[in-house]
Amino acid sequence: MDNLIPVYESSTLSHRKVYQIKGALYRFTGRCPWARIDHPQWCFTPLAGQRRKADIKLNQNNVRHGIYEVPGMVASRQSEVMGQGIQQTLF
């Protein structure tokens, strides 16, 4: 994971991409429906097979400075982290 791409805009977040946040791999799930309109938040779910199990919500400043896109990895609900890579399940 040497070629990480920093994310500067929340509009570039995608449900199909994998993001690295503080050393763990996450999948973007969408905007937080309970956040205030003037203080938006974005929700992320960790991929299976990692130590971190809790979902996280990030505000605008954390999105600009703390998220990196992992190129070449595609996220789905069945994505699982194994060893140094990510494995996709078919069923």
Per-residue pLDDT tens for 11-69? 899 988 999 999 899 999 998 888 888 889 999 999 888 888 899 999 888 888 889 99
pTM of the complete model beyond 0.85: no
Q: What is the DSSP string of 10-76?
A: GGG--TTEEEEETTEEEEEEEE-TTS-TTS--EEEEEPBTSS--S-EEE-HHHHHHHEEEEEEEE--
- Asked if residue 78 has pLDDT above 80, the reply is no
Residue 64 — φ and ψ, nearest 5°? -70, -30
What mean pLDDT do residues 63-89 have?
A: 74
CB of 44 within 8 A of CB of 26?
yes
